[in-house]
Structure 1
Amino acid sequence: MMQDRVVSLFQESFGRVPTAVCRAPGRIEFIGNHTDYNGGEVMGAAIDRGLWVAVAPREDGERRFCSDLAPGRVVLQSGVLEPKEGDESWINYPLGVLAGMPEFGLTAPSGFDFAVASDLPTGAGLSSSAAIELSSGLAFLALTEQSLPREELVKLGRWAENHFVGVPCGILDQGVSGFGAENSLVHIDCATTAFSTVPMPEGAHFWIFNTPGGHALVDGAYASRHRECMAAAGVLGVKLLADTTLEALVAAKAQMEPTVFKRAHHVLSEIERVNGVQAALAEGDLATVGKLLVASHRSSQHDFENSTVQLDDVVDRLVECEGVWGARLTGGGFGGAVMALTDERFDAAAAAEVSAAFAEKWGAPATPLHLQAARGAERIC
């Protein structure tokens, strides 16, 4: 069990038992690629893998961190909140939460021991960043005996990512990790920050195929897409792209650079696809859902250009398989993973065939994971 694993790591590293253990799940972005920071709608699923944080207070003001994904320990004095690099860069996420707590009227804990353990594959685009932000937030609240509404916890995680880590993400990742529910998708109206759950039809399965090399969003690619979307909104005279329509964009095509038009076309057509998926799920129509998932990927591939040839290859293989309703990249893109929506006919043997065929072409497998929709972030003990 992951709880036993993080407690053992804590005891081995710090020689005592933790006073609180919290967990937060990774997430699948089901539909709504890069719509969140454009004020649109998005749907995702919290998954049955994530990050677990164990903590205990210290009286000397030291903040000591360890992880099962990085060597050694990082020791900081209370009040030191400068971003780290290299093997220590993982602590930027809990540090960002600490830096953000006063912004939300909270007192950050001064000294503590902190251990994190993960069963999320690294670089897969399943949002380990949001998972560590939310689990850290819950752990720090436990240390200081404070509380925060779930909506505010989600916003605190996003604040850490935007203002400390430096990724201009929307609310998707933290919102899905925070509001996840078993056998359900999380729907987010990002304009109003309204969260709701949407039941998945019986017999629907999630498969993830993690391509080699992973991805990283703290670089120019994500930020440039953000700038291009804002540029399109400026030409259209709106604050966010969700405040306009696809028809208005097409009418203004001659007024903007071709690349900016393509980015906006993806976002606005993707918002329409989110609405289509929600309607199809209400009818139990997985065939239509699957078609919209594939259309989403093609839009990412050609308009938003945040796919890769490897992600495209996995999608191309999956859509030819029996039992696959649809497939698309999941997460920010620029590498990472493909999500497939399937029925029970697509099983572990079929997934292994896809992975092996991919490996024959690319020299390394696209590692498959069979995942389930799970509960959102919570304190365990």
Structure 2
Amino acid sequence: MEPEQPAQRFGAHPAALTASAPGRVNLIGEHTDYTGGLVLPMAIPFQTNVEIAHAADGMYTFHSAQFQESRVMPPSDQSPAAGNWSDYSVGVLRELQALGVRPEPFYLTVDGNVPLGSGLSSSASIEVATAMALLQHTGKHLPIPEIALLCQRAENVYVHSPCGIMDQFAITAATAGHALLLNTRDLTYQLLPMNTGELAGCVVVVVNSMVRHTVTAGSEYAQRRRELEAGQQVLRERFGVRDLGEATVEQLLACAGAMSAESLKRCRHVITENGRVREAAEAMTAGDAKRLGELMTAAHASERDDFECSVEEVDFLVDTAVQQAGCFGARLTGGGFGGCTVNLLLAGEADRFTAAIRQAYQERYGITAQTFVCEAAAGAVERAATAGSDVTAGTDVAAGRADQL
């Protein structure tokens, strides 16, 4: 059988002019998505909006309404990353070109309100919204997993940020009112309702520490990933596991002498985090807010102590949150080294909780934290379908059962 050619993977649809993609917050399952593990994110009602129109000047123009900056290039351009917001959109264009897609000249405007550098996936939101807009502009379509993987490649290859697949997949495939339990090895997923049992009376509050993080190839994030992958390789050689997604703590301890202390801690976080995600999915199915909150707080302790990706300000926000009435649990969300916490609490306590957190943080650090009460929002594909824009094919991915995850 001959390899599938790029043109065979796309179908023709009428062009459209707009696309939208949300941000996301990860309830639990951090730094597991590049080692075949489990994650449990939900989309949130921040969004990136992209408008695209045919350009008469024969150029590709990317414009940021937020920064009031433009990047203009000919279709043949092969320039490297510019080191700014435009790289996320240009990277997506590059990956489409690698698949044989040659868009007609366009003027593309990016705007939105996803907080930058906060762990809420502003970069992936730009990537997915750009991909959806370019697919419409070219009259092509791709299924959910391929859109997500294309956007991940854009960030890995062009932006040189070693992110996993969680952000792009969740932002593409999320469904309103649900969290998304994703097996990052095979991209099977399960939608979990956020309104069962005790969870029906809960809200998710995101607290932005205002401490910016930068997830780049030269960052501490990249160093943690190298340490993690070194430990994973030891486990592969010793036990034949595919990745940390199927490794056990017992196997890890048996290999402790063959890896660095740092690799041991990074791998211990990921292996135990996968276990916490499984338990969290069970708690959500049962509507057990107390247990879900306990797992979130335990996950933060593991990020702080084993993955060592938290910072003093974020630890303070988590410690303060869990002392508040009605708060079931709290943790760092996103890549770490700053950014946001995610908090699960009774809906009736949200106003009092946010006021107490903001006051305590201001008194301790002189920083005014941002707080957002969030609902589980629609992903980019659901938004497109609601708007009547058919831009993907095969939008259903085989949903894995909980016992398969």
Q: Does 1:66 align with 2:68?
A: no
Identity of counterpart residues, as a percentage?
Answer: 34
SS at match of 1:157: helix
Aligned-pair Cα RMSD in Å = 1.5
Matching residue of 1:228:
227
Output the CA distance in 1 between the equivalents of 2:94 and 2:81.
Answer: 14
Q: Does 1:355 align with 2:352?
A: no
The answer (yes or no) to whether the contact 2:104–2:138 under 8 Å persists in 1 is no
Task: Decide which moves more: 73-82 or 125-134.
Answer: 73-82
1:375 CA drift (Å): 0.6
1:69 CA drift (Å): 2.3
Q: Counterpart amino acid of 1:282?
A: T
SS at match of 2:201: coil
SS at match of 1:75: strand
Q: Counterpart amino acid of 1:221?
A: E
SS at match of 1:174: helix
Matching residue of 1:9:
none
Q: Counterpart amino acid of 1:284?
A: G
SS at match of 1:70: coil
Matching residue of 1:318:
321
1:60 CA drift (Å): 3.1
Output the CA distance in 1 between the equivalents of 2:343 and 2:245.
Answer: 27
Matching residue of 2:395:
none
Q: Counterpart amino acid of 1:102?
A: Q
SS at match of 1:23: strand
Seen in structure 2, the aligned counterparts of structure 1 residues 279 and 65 have a Cα distance that, compared at 3 Å, is same
1:106 CA drift (Å): 4.4
Q: Does 1:139 align with 2:133?
A: yes
Output the CA distance in 1 between the equivalents of 2:100 and 2:22.
Answer: 24
Output the CA distance in 1 between the equivalents of 2:104 and 2:222.
Answer: 33
Matching residue of 1:215:
213
Cα deviation digits, residues 180-205 of structure 1 (max 9, x gap): 11111011111111122111131221
Matching residue of 1:327:
330
Cα deviation digits, residues 250-276 of structure 1 (max 9, x gap): 122122211110000000000000001
Matching residue of 1:98:
93
Q: What TM-score do the two structures reach when normalised by structure 2?
A: 0.86
Output the CA distance in 2 between the equivalents of 1:97 and 1:84.
Answer: 12
Q: Counterpart amino acid of 1:91?
A: S
Structure 1 segments of 4 or more deviating over 3 A?
83-86, 378-381
Q: Does 1:78 align with 2:75?
A: yes
The answer (yes or no) to whether the contact 1:230–1:240 under 8 Å persists in 2 is no
Q: Does 1:206 align with 2:204?
A: yes
Cα deviation digits, residues 169-224 of structure 1 (max 9, x gap): 11100111011111110111111111221111312211111012321101321211
Q: What TM-score do the two structures reach when normalised by structure 1?
A: 0.91
Within 5 Å, give how 1:81-160 maps onto structure 2: 81-85=78-82, 89-103=84-98, 105-160=99-154
Count of equivalent residues? 361
The answer (yes or no) to whether the contact 1:179–1:195 under 8 Å persists in 2 is no
Task: Decide which moves more: 218-227 or 153-162.
Answer: 218-227
1:31 CA drift (Å): 0.7
SS at match of 1:345: helix
The answer (yes or no) to whether the contact 1:229–1:241 under 8 Å persists in 2 is no
Matching residue of 1:3:
none
Q: Does 1:196 align with 2:160?
A: no
Output the CA distance in 2 between the equivalents of 1:24 and 1:245.
Answer: 36
Q: Counterpart amino acid of 1:308?
A: V
Matching residue of 1:40:
37
Task: Decide which moves more: 245-254 or 27-36.
Answer: 245-254
Output the CA distance in 2 between the equivalents of 1:341 and 1:78.
Answer: 47
